[in-house]
Structures are given as structure tokens and as C-alpha cells.
A and B are shown apart, each in its own frame.
Chain A
Amino acid sequence: MSVNPYLPGATVLDSLLFSRIQFGANISFHILFPTISIALGWFLFFFKIQHIRTGQDYWQEAYRFWVKIFALTFALGVVSGITMSFQFGTNWPGYMETVGNIAGPLLAYEVLTAFFLEATFLGVMLFGANRVSPLVHTVATFLVAFGTSLSAFWIIVLNSWMQTPQGFKMVDGKAYAVDWLAIVFNPSMPYRFWHMMLASFLTVSFLLAGISAYRYLRNSRSPANFLVMKLSLTVAMVLIPLQIMLGDMHGLNTLQHQPAKLAAMEGIWEGGSGVPAVIFAVPNQKTRSNDYEISIPKLASLYLTHSVDGEVKGLNDFGDKIPPVAPVFFAFRVMVGMGVLMLLCSWIGRWQLRQNRQLPKWMARVLVAMTFSGWIAVLAGWYVTEIGRQPYLVTGVLTTAQAVTTLPAGMVFSTLFAYLVLYVGLLAAYIWVVFYLARQADAKDAQGHPAPKKTDSSFSPFGV
């Protein structure tokens, strides 16, 4: 712990702590919106194609309703993303100084190939429908969806490289690229990318289903609304099992490349052969063991190594280089628990909709409550992977503490406070507006003409 040169009395540790909280808050806020816009872009493209293919106006109606939410989501993603691009420099100067030669080109390619594409064609997609041909408008919709996914690809390439770095050499404490193909296609990249893509589709499925159920409970009988509900539950029903399989493969990859993270996820302190699966526990970093542990013998070895006596390393094998165990352990369980809940909801809901039946009211209420369930699972998943990587920022190359700013803690704290206030306000406004737009769309349906300007503004997404 060194003394902060700008403010005697405060230590660099405070800056580290506040910087971490600030970046964590920022990244958590940011990720909510791309998570929706990645898949929602493709859903919109699908609506568009269906409209052209079938000539049915329902699809057009669905496009028009959901494109509003897309625009709002996109705007929030853009502005919070700009914040992140600056925070690399303001809060983590050591990061670019050490691995800038590798992180730089990856970020540059994201901006060059994806950012401009999505931002430019977003204008055409949102406001150009009357100015361009239907074909150009469809192509613009496609390019926005494509750009958003491409952007996710580059970011995940960089993140994966930080988790499982390869294809570089260190000279005088700086990383130099040796093999770009190895850097891009690093060992954890494919798992991480598809895991995130599926997570995005699942998040959007539940958003679509939740809002459609909300409108249904408010007596919307728009065919478009029903169609979207059915489509989203079908997509969720099919993709969740895929996500579970992929998650398992991702776990095996983590076992191979980041064993300390995996041990933290599983709550395994003592490694060896035939390790138990910990169902519940409170990991205790001080005693380096679990309190209140409930576990099933040998099960972890079985599902991790596919052999009852398989060798698994425990946290105690890594000395001090282990992540904070409890957050990783619990976040992992939140993610898995949320996944199971989503699986049940989508299967039951889709079964109830068979042969164009209607949802029972209770199920519609459950779906409304699950509207943003994808966000919880995605955040939990990212906490697992990001906290699980600690104490490293780039595994084995750079620790988080080495990269942090030496700015006065008070400065970092004041901006942290401002960001937090803004984020909480915007998140509330976003959720409110999503439900408000749903109410507005129904008012329009009910009266056959545009909704009156004055409407009930009470916030009651769950008080249906």
C-alpha cells in the first residue's frame, strides 16, 4: 500500500477500490443495453423479413412497436459505451501502457468496422422509412443488427484475450503481438462469444414475452402482440437447453485455462481426486474453507472431468492468487438458478400457448415478473467471469492493482457518486418508459387512433 502523491493521508488503495467500483458500476450499466440491442436488432430484422414474406400487417405492427424500444436501448448503450472508452485511460492508465499494443488494434477494429456502421444505419433504420425503398430499409435494419453483433465480437475477443492471453511476447514489461490469429481465436473466445450471443437472445426473448404478457393482461388482443409472445417463448424454449450445454463446455474450458476461477465458482478449497459438488456454502476467505457447507461427494469430479475420481485443483493450490471467492460462488448460483427458472417458464408458457390457446392469467403475471430476468442472469454471469479473473486484469500478465490510476481517491469517489446517481435515475426511467410505451400501444389499439397525449403516468409494471 503506497501513499498517494496527490493527497497525503489517502492511500492508493482507496483509488483502487473506488476505481474498481466505478468501472464495475459503469460496465454493469453499459452491458444491460447491448445485451438487449444485439438480439433485438435480429428480431426486428426477422419481423421485417416476415412482413415482406407474408404480407401480414402484424409483423409491421410488431416492428413499429419494438423499434421504439430498440432506439431507446441503443441510445443508452451508445452513451454508456463512450464512457467506457474514456475510462480505460482515466481510471486504468497502466492497462494501455502494458497491453496497448494488443488491446489497441482490437478496439480500433471495433470502432472502424462496427460503431460507424451501426450508428449511421440506425438513422436510416429509424427515420428513413419514408425516404428510402423498402429494400434499402430492410438492408439498413440488417446492417444495424450485423454491426451490433460485430461490435460484440470484437469486445469479446478482447475480453477473452485478457482472460486467456496467447500469441504475444513480453519485452521490458510491455506486451507485443506475435500472432494475431492466436490472439483473436484465443482458447476461451468461441465459448464466451456464443454464450453471450445466446444470453442476449434469451434476455430479449423474456423482454418480448414479458411486455407482451403485460399488454395481454391489460386486455390487448392485438394479433401482433400474441404473435410476438409465441415467437419469443418458442425461441427461449429452444435456446435455453443450448445455453446450458454451451455453459457446460465453457466451464470445461475454464477448468483447463483458469482453474482458480473454476475452483471459486464451485467453492472447492481442497483439490484432489473425487472432489465433492458444493450445493450450498458460505465461502470464508479468512479460514480458507466453507462455512455451512452442503455437498455431494465426488459429484464435481464427475461433471467437471467426466470421471468419479478425476483430479480437480482447489483454491488452496493457488496461494494468494485467488479471486474473492464468495461473490464468484454466489453469482454463479444466481446465474444458474435464473437459467433454470427461465427454462421452466419458457417450456410451461410455450406449452400453454399450443394450438393458439391463451395464457392463463397467473402465467402472464409470472412472465411480466420475468421481463428483465435476462439482465440478472447476464450480470451474474459477468460477475462470475470478471471477479473470477482477479487479482489479474490480464491473466498472468498484469494485475488490477498495477493498472489503476494514481488520482486522488476523493476525485474518483466524487465522479463515482455522480455516475451512480445518473445510472440509477436512467435505469428507472428506462424501465418506466418500456412499460409506458406498452400502455400507449394498447391505448392506440383500443381506440383505433393515436393515443391521447395525456395518459396515466403511474409506475405500475407489476401492479397489473
Chain B
Amino acid sequence: MSSMDFTQASVWLPLFFFVAMGIAMLSYVVLDGYDLGIGMLLNRGNDADKDMMIASIGPFWDANETWIVLGVGLLLVAFPLAHGQILTELYLPVAAMLLGLILRGVSFDFRVKVNIEQKPLWNLLFYLGSLIASVSQGIMIGRLIVGFDSGALGWLFSLLVGLCLPAGYVLLGATWLILKTEGTLQQKAFRWAKNSLWLTGLGIALVSLATPYFSTEIMHKWFSWPQIIWLSPVPIATGILFLLTLRSINALEKKSTQKEWLPFACVVAIFWLAFFGIAYSIFPYVIIGKVTLWQAAAATESLWVIFWGAIVVLPTILGYTLFSYRIFKGKATALTYY
């Protein structure tokens, strides 16, 4: 590593794409996370709540989901060798996630178009699809952290992450509802957010304890001197953010503050930190202990071709994404095509 010459394109281009892929994946987790979370909360609301919950994500869910295509696309494009191996290892959870995403994506549209008798069926499918997709994404992250360890403990850990990630998504979804809704639905969202906050916190703690246990590689990285010093702000900041989320929700409930965006922003920040933790632990591997990002990288010439495109296009995407969020800012209103 120390002998690497970062002025060489063959060295920094793969790194650039590793970071870009990370940002795409994180964008996916946060953006689709809140709408998956709302999907998992759906059957807790009454009929009017359900319509409003869906209305709050209506204009966004499609673009949100596109980030996973970019994330996997970059894995495919920049690290073709790892792509095949990772997706072969993750075959079943990926298939389950895809089935979940299909169910959810179409239910969203079918539920408003069918007659009233069939609506509960599509609501149920929307809920199930969101749940299946979230649990399988959690399992995939778990598998990645244990380096696809096929022992019973490795699987147990993966299942643990598979339960924690949905809790985090529900937290994102609930805080999104705090931001986008009002009245009784918002009151319910306060309660949902607080319940899932504890579950998410427990999940992050358990995963943080289990991760170094499963991977000596990661244990060395976390607890060796002096890394431990400059890594310590990550768990500390995470803890502070949890408290801040709880406090701000309580304050909103008592109407002593107007900052409805604050809980959502805090949870996004928690996700950032958790994601940074995972990315730092995995780096420089694409598959822990087996394939580094430089070993898995595509030909430098191909990376250049995408690099220039990405440099021009990504800011454009960011621009019109912000434009779309500005159009639909404020409280959600009933979805109508005109």
C-alpha cells in the first residue's frame, strides 16, 4: 500500500470508483431506506394514513431506487472481477431482494389504480415487498462483512444484520414522515420513530461488537494503535446523534421546537457514520481478505471512459434531483396526476 504511486491513473482511478460506488450505495441506503421504511410501517396506519404515507414518497421512490442500479452498475463496471464473485455468493439474498423490490415497486402503482376491494391486497404486497427487500439487504451487508464465511456463526451474524437494517430503515421512514406529514399521522410517526430508534441503536451496538469478532482483519484495523484514537470520534458522534434524535423528537411532540427536519437529518448522519465504519473496515478490499479493489479493477482505459462521463453527469444528476425535491418540498399532499 505504502509503495503505491497515487499519481498513476491505474492507482487512483480504481480508488475514485471505490469511493463513487460507496457514495452511490450510501445514497441508495438513505434514499430508498426511507421509502422502504415507510413500506414496513404501512400496515400500522389506517386507510387515510396509508394514502398519505405513500403520497409522501410518491414523487421520489423511482429516482431513489435508481441509486442501487448505479451502485451495482459501478461494481459491475469498475470491478468486474469482484462483481461476478460477490453476486454469485449473494445469489439467494439478491434474488429475494429483487422479488421484494418488484413487488413493492408495482404495488405502489397498482394500489391506486385497482378497485377498492383489491386495494388491501396491494397494500399488503407493498408491505411484504419492502420487508423482504430490507431484510435481504441486511443479510447481504452481513455476508459482505464476514467475507462470505459459510459457518453457522457467519450466517447468524448475517441474519442479525438482516434484522437491524430494517429497524434502521423504519427509523428513516418514521423521521421522514415527521418531516412530511402533520396531525395524527405525525403523532404516530413520533411514536414509531422512538420505538425504532432503540432497536436501531441496539442493532448498531450488536453489529459493532460482533464485527471484530468475526473478522480478525477488521479487529486489527479498529483496535491497533494509533488508529483507535482517530476512529474513536465515530462511535462517540453516533451516540451523540442518537441522543439528539431522541431529544428533538420529544421537543417536537411537546411543540417546543419547529425543527421537523432535525430528526431525519440526525438519522441520515447516523447512517453516514455507520456506512463510513463499514467502508473503512472493508477498505482496501472489495471482498474482505481476498480481493483488493486494485486487483478487481477493470482496465484503466475503460475507467477513463466512465470517469469523464461521471464527472460531467453526476453534478447534473445532483442538480435535477435537488430541483425535484424543491418542487415537492413542504408537507405531502394527496397524490394526483393533475
Listed in ascending order, the chain A residues whose CB lies under 8 Å from chain B are 64, 67-68, 71-72, 74-76, 78-83, 85-86, 88-90, 93-94, 96-97, 100-102, 104-105, 107-109, 111-113, 115-117, 119-124, 126-132, 174, 176-177, 180, 405-407, 411, 415, 418-419, 422, 426, 429, 433, 436-437, 453-455, 457
25 example contacts (A-B, Cβ-Cβ < 8 A) are as follows: A64-B338, A75-B105, A76-B105, A78-B62, A82-B65, A82-B102, A85-B69, A85-B72, A89-B75, A96-B76, A97-B84, A100-B77, A102-B302, A104-B298, A104-B302, A105-B302, A105-B305, A117-B317, A120-B324, A127-B58, A128-B327, A433-B114, A436-B115, A437-B113, A454-B115
6 tightest CB-CB pairs across the interface, nearest first?
A93-B84, A100-B80, A89-B87, A123-B59, A104-B77, A79-B105
Contact B314 A112 (CB under 8 A): yes
B313 contacts across to A, CB distance below 8 A: 112-113
Any chain A CB within 8 A of the CB of B74?
yes
Report the separation of the CA atoms of residues A453 and B117 in the bound assembly, to the nearest whole angstrom. 9
Name B74-89 residues within 8 Å CB distance of A.
Answer: 74-78, 80-81, 83-88
B102 contacts across to A, CB distance below 8 A: 79-80, 82-83, 422, 426
Any chain A CB within 8 A of the CB of B217?
no
Any chain A CB within 8 A of the CB of B92?
yes
Contact B115 A111 (CB under 8 A): no
A411 contact from B60, B91, B99, Cβ within 8 A: B91
Any chain A CB within 8 A of the CB of B156?
no
Report the separation of the CA atoms of residues A429 and B310 in the bound assembly, to the nearest whole angstrom. 38
Listed in ascending order, the chain B residues whose CB lies under 8 Å from chain A are 58-60, 62-63, 65-66, 68-70, 72-78, 80-81, 83-88, 90-92, 94-95, 98-99, 101-106, 108-110, 113-118, 298-299, 301-302, 305-306, 309-310, 313-314, 317, 320-321, 324, 327-328, 335-338
Report the separation of the CA atoms of residues A407 and B85 in the bound assembly, to the nearest whole angstrom. 11
B58 contacts across to A, CB distance below 8 A: 123, 126-127
A92 closest partner in B (C-beta): B84
Contact B94 A90 (CB under 8 A): yes
Contact B321 A120 (CB under 8 A): yes
Contact A75 B109 (CB under 8 A): yes
Report the separation of the CA atoms of residues A113 and B314 in the bound assembly, to the nearest whole angstrom. 9
Contact B114 A436 (CB under 8 A): yes
Instruction: Tell me, rounded to whole Å, the shortest Cβ–Cβ distance linking B180 to chain A.
Output: 13
B314 contacts across to A, CB distance below 8 A: 112
Contact A129 B306 (CB under 8 A): no
Contact A124 B324 (CB under 8 A): yes
Report the separation of the CA atoms of residues A418 and B68 in the bound assembly, to the nearest whole angstrom. 22
Contact B84 A96 (CB under 8 A): yes
Contact B62 A104 (CB under 8 A): no
Contact B298 A100 (CB under 8 A): yes
With a 10 A CB-CB cut-off, give which of B95, B116, B117, B313 has the most chain A CB atoms: B95
B305 contacts across to A, CB distance below 8 A: 105, 177, 180
Total A-B contacts with CB atoms under 8 angstroms apart? 224
Where chain B touches its partner, the secondary structure class is: helix
Instruction: Tell me, rounded to whole Å, the shortest Cβ–Cβ distance linking A117 to chain B.
Output: 8
Report the separation of the CA atoms of residues A101 and B88 in the bound assembly, to the nearest whole angstrom. 20
A119 contacts across to B, CB distance below 8 A: 62-63, 65-66
Report the separation of the CA atoms of residues A123 and B62 in the bound assembly, to the nearest whole angstrom. 8
A411 contacts across to B, CB distance below 8 A: 91-92
B309 contacts across to A, CB distance below 8 A: 105, 108-109, 112-113
Contact B320 A82 (CB under 8 A): no
Contact A85 B321 (CB under 8 A): no
Where chain A touches its partner, the secondary structure class is: helix
Contact A97 B81 (CB under 8 A): yes
Instruction: Tell me, rounded to whole Å, the shortest Cβ–Cβ distance linking A187 to chain B.
Output: 21
A68 contacts across to B, CB distance below 8 A: 113, 337
A453 contacts across to B, CB distance below 8 A: 115-116
Known: A127-B328, A405-B88, A422-B103. A72 touches B117 (CB 8 A): no
Contact B63 A116 (CB under 8 A): yes
B65 contact from A78, A130, A407, A433, Cβ within 8 A: A78
Instruction: Tell me, rounded to whole Å, the shortest Cβ–Cβ distance linking B144 to chain A.
Output: 14
Instruction: Tell me, rounded to whole Å, the shortest Cβ–Cβ distance linking A161 to chain B.
Output: 14
Apart from A86-B94, A176-B302: 10 A-B pairs, beta carbons within 8 A: A68-B113, A79-B106, A82-B68, A93-B84, A101-B299, A109-B306, A120-B66, A121-B320, A124-B324, A418-B95
Contact B299 A123 (CB under 8 A): no
Known: A104-B302, A108-B306. A455 touches B99 (CB 8 A): no
A90 contacts across to B, CB distance below 8 A: 87-88, 90-91, 94-95
Known: A127-B58, A128-B328. A101 touches B80 (CB 8 A): yes
Report the separation of the CA atoms of residues A264 and B118 in the bound assembly, to the nearest whole angstrom. 47
B330 closest partner in A (C-beta): A131
Contact A94 B84 (CB under 8 A): yes
B106 contact from A76, A96, A104, Cβ within 8 A: A76
A429 contacts across to B, CB distance below 8 A: 106, 110
Instruction: Tell me, rounded to whole Å, the shortest Cβ–Cβ distance linking A92 to chain B.
Output: 8
Known: A129-B337, A407-B91. A104 touches B84 (CB 8 A): no
Report the separation of the CA atoms of residues A112 and B86 in the bound assembly, to the nearest whole angstrom. 23
A122 contacts across to B, CB distance below 8 A: 62-63
Known: A100-B76, A132-B327, A453-B115. A419 touches B99 (CB 8 A): yes
B310 contacts across to A, CB distance below 8 A: 108, 112
B85 contact from A88, A93, A131, Cβ within 8 A: A93
Contact B77 A107 (CB under 8 A): yes
Report the separation of the CA atoms of residues A453 and B106 in the bound assembly, to the nearest whole angstrom. 21
B69 contact from A75, A89, A115, A426, Cβ within 8 A: A115
Contact B299 A129 (CB under 8 A): no
B338 contact from A130, A437, A455, Cβ within 8 A: A130
B65 contacts across to A, CB distance below 8 A: 78, 82, 119
Contact A89 B88 (CB under 8 A): yes
Contact B106 A101 (CB under 8 A): no
Contact A108 B113 (CB under 8 A): no
B81 contacts across to A, CB distance below 8 A: 97, 100
Instruction: Tell me, rounded to whole Å, the shortest Cβ–Cβ distance linking A366 to chain B.
Output: 27
Contact B59 A127 (CB under 8 A): yes
A100 closest partner in B (C-beta): B80
Report the separation of the CA atoms of residues A101 and B77 in the bound assembly, to the nearest whole angstrom. 7
Contact A418 B99 (CB under 8 A): yes
Instruction: Tell me, rounded to whole Å, the shortest Cβ–Cβ distance linking A36 to chain B.
Output: 14
B337 contacts across to A, CB distance below 8 A: 64, 67-68, 71, 126-127, 129
A78 contacts across to B, CB distance below 8 A: 62, 65, 105
Instruction: Tell me, rounded to whole Å, the shortest Cβ–Cβ distance linking B177 to chain A.
Output: 18
B99 contacts across to A, CB distance below 8 A: 418-419, 422
Instruction: Tell me, rounded to whole Å, the shortest Cβ–Cβ distance linking B128 to chain A.
Output: 12
Report the separation of the CA atoms of residues A88 and B98 in the bound assembly, to the nearest whole angstrom. 13
Report the separation of the CA atoms of residues A81 and B63 in the bound assembly, to the nearest whole angstrom. 14
Report the separation of the CA atoms of residues A97 and B299 in the bound assembly, to the nearest whole angstrom. 11
With a 10 A CB-CB cut-off, give which of B59, B63, B102 has the most chain A CB atoms: B102
B108 contacts across to A, CB distance below 8 A: 75
Instruction: Tell me, rounded to whole Å, the shortest Cβ–Cβ distance linking B120 to chain A.
Output: 13
Contact A436 B113 (CB under 8 A): yes
Contact A177 B302 (CB under 8 A): yes
A82 contact from B60, B69, B80, Cβ within 8 A: B69
Contact B76 A75 (CB under 8 A): no
